[in-house]
Amino acid sequence: MTANTPSAGARSVSERDRNADQSELCDAADGLLWLGASMLRAGSTAFRTRECMDMLAKKLSFDEISVALTFDSVIASARRAGEWITMAREIGLPGVNAWRIGELEQLAQKAELNPQKTAVELARIESAPPFYTGTQIAAAVGAASGAFAFLNGCGATEIWVAAVSSALGQSARSQLARDISISTGQRR
């Protein structure tokens, strides 16, 4: 019987609005953590990652943000309209991807206030295929190692051993990283 009273209906509307606000706050904080984890996974520095997270936090209307970056996770506490939220996200397997860092920095600079649009852009950046195959990267690592051996005054045998062993090592490292990311469900 109390459900038909005006105060009961108003309370449910305000609860629905509060739940929608809380959900939007969670989505915005998740996008902020996603940006930070993606930047660190792509090889960005902690300073640049914090700077971009601060830029995006302002665009997502956060009043205050505190970020903790570790080797394997990003933790952020943020305040908006008097409500606090604290969330954490694992970084995953680190690598170096300058294109991805640049795209993430541009996203932080031009992001819109909508957390859903930010999430779509983050998904687009994360799903982009790498520019080079594993074989190309292994060959480049081998060539660079051989070149360093040459610059250090090594003979032909040492140059060849440095080039071949580092290329094989890079191939093995890449395969192990791929196996780990498949077994843990992480995206590289």
49 in Cβ contact with 65 (< 8 Å) = no
Q: How confident is the model at residue 17 (pLDDT cuts 50, 70, 90)?
A: low
115-149 tens-digit pLDDT: 888 888 899 998 998 888 889 999 999 999 999 99
State whether 74 and 12 are in the same domain: yes
Domain co-membership, 71 together with 89: yes
Tens-digit pLDDT profile for residues 143-174: 999 999 999 999 999 999 999 999 999 999 88
Domain holding 50, by residue range, is 2-127
Q: 127, 153, 170 — which closes off a domain?
A: 127
pLDDT in tens, 77-103: 999 888 899 999 999 888 888 999 999
* Phi/psi at 87 (5° precision): -140, 160
Task: Give percent of the chain above pLDDT 70.
Answer: 83
Region label for 184, one of left (φ > 0), alpha (ψ between -120 and 50) or beta (otherwise): alpha
112 with 150, same domain: the answer is: no
Counting the structural domains of the chain, the total is 2
- SS3 sequence of 114-128: CHHHHHHHHHHHHHC
Say if residue 22 is in the same domain as residue 52.
Answer: yes
In this prediction the pTM is 0.72
Confidence of residue 2 (pLDDT cuts 50, 70, 90): very low
Listed residues 112, 127, 142: the one ending a domain: 127
Give Cα separations from 144 to 87, 97, 154, 161, 167 (angstroms). 41, 18, 14, 12, 9
84 membership: H or E segment, kind and range:
strand 83-90
Do 123 and 150 have their domain in common? no
Could you tell me which residues come within 8 angstroms of residue 10 by beta carbon, excluding any fewer than 6 positions away?
none
Say whether both 43 and 112 belong to one domain.
Answer: yes
**Between 35 and 187, residue with greater pLDDT:** 35
| pLDDT surpasses 70 at 20 | no
